[in-house]
Structure 1
Amino acid sequence: MTQTPPLDPDVADQAPTGPAMTSYDAHHIVTYIRLLQAEGEGADWREVARIVLRIDPDREPDRARNAYQSHLSRAKWMTEKGRLLRSAGSN
């Protein structure tokens, strides 16, 4: 039985970079979708880091920017490989 991913999981400072979907990726499907939606809407990365990743870019600008960029990059990788849409849609 497939479990529903958490809606607001804690995020690491860096998203995975390997060539295979990880358990971290599976737990962060909703995070990846939210990042992709925000980018599509033209949202400011600082607002996205604050709301989606829960990292304050005013207090930790480098950490927030790096986490945002690595997670957005991973979200794009997931969609390019077709894994994100299949994983998000399968129950």
Structure 2
Amino acid sequence: MRKPVELDPDVDDEAPAGNDITPYDEQHYVTYLRLLDAKTDGADWNEVARIVLHRDPIGDETLTRRCWESHLARAEWLSRAGYRRILEQAVAAGR
């Protein structure tokens, strides 16, 4: 049975790093897509942080900016190279 897609999950202070797709990544695919869409649309990072990441850039700008940057970087990695890892891991798991 497939897990339902989470449309608006809470996020950690920083996204994962490295070359493996993590359970966190799987839970946040929609978050990553929303971040990429916002970047394409030229949206202000403060607004994106509030809406997509549930963060308050006014309350803690430094932490919020780091959270936004790390999640956007992870989204960009997934769109460039990480998607290959998704396919490789799925094949390895026999899905």
Structure 1 residue 51 corresponds to structure 2 residue 88: no
Q: Does the 8 A contact of 2:36 with 2:72 survive in 1? A: yes
| Secondary structure of the structure 2 residue equivalent to 1:81 | helix
Aligned pairs, number: 86
2 CA distance for matches of 1:60 and 1:5? 29
The corresponding residue for 2:19 is: 19
Structure 1 unaligned blocks of 5 or more: none
C-alpha displacement of 1:44: 0.3
1 CA distance for matches of 2:32 and 2:73? 9
| Secondary structure of the structure 2 residue equivalent to 1:3 | coil
Identity %: 49
Q: TM-score, normalised by structure 2?
A: 0.84
What value does the CA root-mean-square deviation take over the aligned residues? 1.7
Larger radius of gyration: 2
Following TM superposition, where does structure 1 have runs of at least 4 consecutive aligned residues deviating by more than 3 angstroms? none
Q: TM-score, normalised by structure 1?
A: 0.87
Structure 2 unaligned blocks of 5 or more: 88-95
